[in-house]
Structure 1
Amino acid sequence: MWPLLLIAILSALVQLFLPWWSIALVAFGVCFWRSRTGWQAFGAGFGGIAVVWFLYALFIHLQTDNILTGRMADLFFKTQAPVLLLLITPLIGGLVGGFAALAGRQLKDAVAAKP
């Protein structure tokens, strides 16, 4: 449970100063350090990043009064439904975080298994 919270907090802070892909480094590092299984690592990485990206997308949606998210949904999906964009955004971020966290856990297993 707390790797998810740690990933969410650290990735929210890191995204203020570094590029978007820095979330992968956070998820990788946290799950290399403190995950028990591959499923737990993937879930923590996916959940931590997806929550942050959803909240940020929702914040932008509310700040711009549906203008930006509506235009982006029209540009990418040819629809005026910003809800689709609010669902796809955390899915993409969550997959990046989940696979990075799983890679961190797998590297930990590989390092520990060396003779």
Structure 2
Amino acid sequence: MVMYCILLLAAVLVTVLHPWWLIAPLAFLIGGFCTRSASRAAIIGFAAVFTAWLACACYYSLPNHQLLATRMAGFFLLPNAWTLIITAAIPGALTGGLSAASGVLVRAMFKRNKPV
């Protein structure tokens, strides 16, 4: 839960202020330091970045009554604006999940084995 909250807040700040690809090193570092299981890091990273990108897309889309999102959805032959907004959050979520899992695996690779 702590990793989810940290990554969610950091992802929102990075999404609003910086390029989208900074999600990857951010999730890599937070995943490497906050959890020990790669599968858990992948799920938490996916969920946190998905939530952050979905929130940011809604923040930008709802004030203008989804005018641009509706037009873009029609361009991509999607049924409505919400489908576009959810579809747009998936690449960021995959990036966050895979980066967080990679952070855990890289940390495990450099961890010393205890002597027997």
Superposed pair shares fold, TM > 0.5: yes
Superposed CA deviations along residues 31-89 of structure 1, whole A, max 9, x for unmatched, are 111112011110111011000111111122211212111112122x2235112112212
Q: Where do 5+ consecutive residues of structure 2 fail to align?
A: none
The equivalences for 1:72-91 within 5 A come to 72-75=72-75, 77-91=76-90
2:43 match = 43
2:69 match = 69
Q: TM-score, normalised by structure 2?
A: 0.89
What's the CA shift for 1:113? Answer: 4.9
Question: Among the aligned pairs, what percent are the same residue?
Answer: 25
Q: TM-score, normalised by structure 1?
A: 0.89
CA–CA separation in structure 1 for the residues paired with 2:78 and 2:14: 32
CA–CA separation in structure 1 for the residues paired with 2:65 and 2:51: 21
CA–CA separation in structure 2 for the residues paired with 1:25 and 1:13: 14
CA–CA separation in structure 2 for the residues paired with 1:48 and 1:87: 14
CA–CA separation in structure 2 for the residues paired with 1:114 and 1:22: 32
CA–CA separation in structure 1 for the residues paired with 2:100 and 2:32: 7
Q: Give the length in aligned residue pairs.
A: 114
| Bigger CA radius of gyration | 2
The equivalences for 1:1-115 within 5 A come to 1-75=1-75, 77-113=76-112
Q: Which amino acid aligns with 1:10?
A: A
What's the CA shift for 1:17? Answer: 2.7
CA–CA separation in structure 1 for the residues paired with 2:54 and 2:17: 19
Q: Which amino acid aligns with 1:109?
A: A
